[in-house]
Structure 1
């Protein structure tokens, strides 16, 4: 929790949980509840205040300073489900109202920071359930047909849904605040400008955008950089919106959009842009994607990518255990490490010439989206979304923010050059 007074108030009257009193405190509790409490004693960093279903409160204190988090358990399902299916279980019990927290970001951040202790509590020990989720993730692979299904699962929730809480540019990727922007729309434009300039886009260039979203970058680049843009999307909803926005902007002579998989592109371009699309490619197709980058670049051309990455030491566990995001938000997705990007580019003789990380800006972007989503909920709900969906979306935004704050994941702008 960010406010020390709020945490102190929540923890008032709580007993500090130790190895000496764990047997007494957990007496009479279900087996997996006792197991979870014992696992929490391994926590090294931060503090966690827990209000148990019977009303009693305990506090677990790590050896080092860190996030102060709190959780109210309405039953012990969080303990059961987290042990079985990791973050999927944590998310589903939150969606079902089995637990709550006054600061869910701090609660999730606490476990990301604590690593091995988190393994015992939030990364799952239920082998068969982990296998089931891994098979489900594999079945959502990003073949051309699979990619269309997976993208539709997220982006075709409806343009009105996203329009209700995104900024007016309809940009659904990290903003860039660290250059001095103070509001979301300005920070999104700053992100576009930073990537365009890093990639070396000039007036008259023909730019391919792989994954054009609702057309925000294409409009910016055509208007501000004086280039031509060809944008690819496999979301029907986004295509309709993007074409209309470009028509209204009077830029139809400089921008065209296609409903097309990137693997089917045969043109050659001065520059390529791809903003937070690589995460949806799927590990099986990473090499295919980088080969396509090279094939579609003219000699001397550059490709500018904005990509979410995961720290190398977390990748093996992340790959082995599909998480909440992969099941509910981006089916078929997989985050690379920075080292993966370097190896993939070298394999096709592309040189990495720039690499700029700004993960804390993504945490701020997510917090801004969450505030806007909450403010817009009464307009969003009549579109056909229920309270369980709201809690799913809340958890998604909380979970991602915690990941960036804990430095478990990062976002970076990377530029690759063809000789």
Structure 2
């Protein structure tokens, strides 16, 4: 099937969307300059992909045909293209970065955003013809040099996300202020059980690390302090480090309010600069911010900080190894707008890098469906808090960006493209087991 569009010329750039501040969002306000050929190729690839997946594709309000693909029976997610020419121009110029920026600009939407993205994630290897995948290097961008996780770069990368506003995160996180996957007792999950599920996740990690009275515990990645609070309540002596000033400030406030300042020290410190010897090291979804270049340094730090007989308990998001290798070389929409410098590891990468540092995986349990539920609760609450987000000074483009981020992440787990795992490592020779 073919659909006719007006010709695209390199010299023609549509005017900025008046709802988008071009000073704040320069790459969203204006569809990029690109050649007619690249746009035409992108359009053909997109149209071909859409005919092969269970989606309904519609044009909205521009006089175009009612649909790009035959309507299938049953309830399917609908993706509506409000400005199809701009949509294809962005994809032609920037691939999936353009896909995300087009959503931020309001050029497309869906009646079931998670459902549509889950379909695309489930068919990710089928969307582009195999011969064209070999030309991927001509289409995608390399990660910017300034996003490398040097000590200075890591601080900037972390602060660009986690120092947005404590008030923003408090609008959609549960009262424990936990920003990682919960472990639910039953599905479907509900807001009423959310904090208990977050505590269940924390307690499982502390149990893996055998944290109890007198344990010298290091936490890499403080968050807003809930794990440190629960560890201190067990009688542990806790050092927790972070690069986020906003998180450190609120964590200290919460720890003081709980009367546990004598057991918990919060430091603004890079994991590479921590000194000491610890019975247990715990790190929750922090390895994703380390970057592949620095995984050897990260695992070497874990090993070097571990006292004899000590245990390391990690919670880590993972992706298939081949997809990780592709993503590692690519500047993505997530790395541009959400987590600069971030990279989700594979299980193989974790096993290889930890072994090279002298650590052995002795337990490894996955629970990706729990992360999908966690993200659903966050996403739904974020949507309910739109007016409060606006009141904090975040504009509609920011809200659409976070809607897409939360839905995109949820879709990753629902499609099983992503997983999350709790991993126990030791420096001894305990036989490896996995569940």
- Shorter chain as denominator, the TM-score bin is 0.7 to 0.9
Partner of 1:105: 114
| Shift, 1:75, TM fit | 1.2
Which residue of 321, 324, 327 corresponds with 2:333? 324
| Shift, 1:279, TM fit | 0.4
Q: Deviations over 1:358-390 (max 9, x none)?
A: 111111111100111122222221211111110
Which residue of 203, 207, 220 corresponds with 2:213? 203
Q: Structure 2 matches for 1:192-231, cutoff 5 A?
A: 192-223=202-233, 225-231=234-240
- Partners in 2 of 1:407 and 1:380 — Cα distance? 30
More strand by share: 1
SS at match of 2:67: strand
Partner of 2:312: 303
Q: Deviations over 1:11-53 (max 9, x none)?
A: xxxxxxxxxxx14xx1456574685355543568641211124
Which residue of 154, 157, 166 corresponds with 1:147? 154
- Partners in 2 of 1:125 and 1:57 — Cα distance? 32
- Partners in 2 of 1:123 and 1:240 — Cα distance? 46
Q: TM-score, normalised by structure 1?
A: 0.87
- Partners in 1 of 2:266 and 2:179 — Cα distance? 18
Against the structure 1 CA distance between its residues 179 and 306, is the aligned structure 2 distance closer, same or farther, given a 3 Å change threshold?
A: farther
Whether 2:176 is the aligned partner of 1:169: answer yes
- Partners in 2 of 1:209 and 1:169 — Cα distance? 17
| Shift, 1:118, TM fit | 2.5
| Shift, 1:248, TM fit | 0.4
| Shift, 1:393, TM fit | 0.7
Partner of 1:293: 302
Whether 2:83 is the aligned partner of 1:75: answer yes
User: Which one is further off, 95-104 or 378-387?
Assistant: 378-387
Partner of 1:254: 263
Gaps of 5+ in 1: 1-21
Contact in 2 for aligned 1:85/1:124 (Cα 8 Å): no
Would you say how many aligned residue pairs link Structure 1 and Structure 2? 391
Contact in 2 for aligned 1:178/1:361 (Cα 8 Å): no
Contact in 1 for aligned 2:42/2:91 (Cα 8 Å): no
Against the structure 1 CA distance between its residues 34 and 48, is the aligned structure 2 distance closer, same or farther, given a 3 Å change threshold?
A: farther
User: Which one is further off, 194-203 or 269-278?
Assistant: 194-203
Contact in 2 for aligned 1:43/1:114 (Cα 8 Å): no
User: Which one is further off, 75-84 or 275-284?
Assistant: 75-84
Whether 2:240 is the aligned partner of 1:234: answer no
Against the structure 1 CA distance between its residues 248 and 100, is the aligned structure 2 distance closer, same or farther, given a 3 Å change threshold?
A: same
Which residue of 403, 418, 426 corresponds with 1:394? 403
Partner of 2:167: 160
Partner of 1:96: 105
| Shift, 1:128, TM fit | 5.7
Contact in 2 for aligned 1:88/1:324 (Cα 8 Å): yes
Q: Structure 2 matches for 1:258-277, cutoff 5 A?
A: 258-277=267-286
- Partners in 2 of 1:43 and 1:55 — Cα distance? 17
Gaps of 5+ in 2: 8-35, 429-435
Which residue of 172, 193, 200 corresponds with 1:190? 200
Partner of 2:26: none
Q: Deviations over 1:211-260 (max 9, x none)?
A: 1111010001111x221111001111111101110110011111111111
| Shift, 1:405, TM fit | 0.8
- Partners in 2 of 1:242 and 1:257 — Cα distance? 8
- Partners in 1 of 2:200 and 2:379 — Cα distance? 21
- Partners in 1 of 2:133 and 2:196 — Cα distance? 38
- Partners in 2 of 1:373 and 1:124 — Cα distance? 39
Against the structure 1 CA distance between its residues 123 and 384, is the aligned structure 2 distance closer, same or farther, given a 3 Å change threshold?
A: farther
Q: TM-score, normalised by structure 2?
A: 0.84
Partner of 1:16: none
Against the structure 1 CA distance between its residues 90 and 271, is the aligned structure 2 distance closer, same or farther, given a 3 Å change threshold?
A: same
SS at match of 1:58: coil
Contact in 2 for aligned 1:124/1:130 (Cα 8 Å): no
| Shift, 1:105, TM fit | 1.1
| Shift, 1:351, TM fit | 1.1
Whether 2:288 is the aligned partner of 1:279: answer yes
Against the structure 1 CA distance between its residues 179 and 101, is the aligned structure 2 distance closer, same or farther, given a 3 Å change threshold?
A: closer
Against the structure 1 CA distance between its residues 57 and 282, is the aligned structure 2 distance closer, same or farther, given a 3 Å change threshold?
A: same
RMSD: 2.6
Contact in 1 for aligned 2:42/2:92 (Cα 8 Å): no
| Shift, 1:125, TM fit | 6.9
Q: Deviations over 1:306-355 (max 9, x none)?
A: 11111123123222322111111110111110000111111122110111
More helix by share: 1
- Partners in 2 of 1:215 and 1:102 — Cα distance? 37
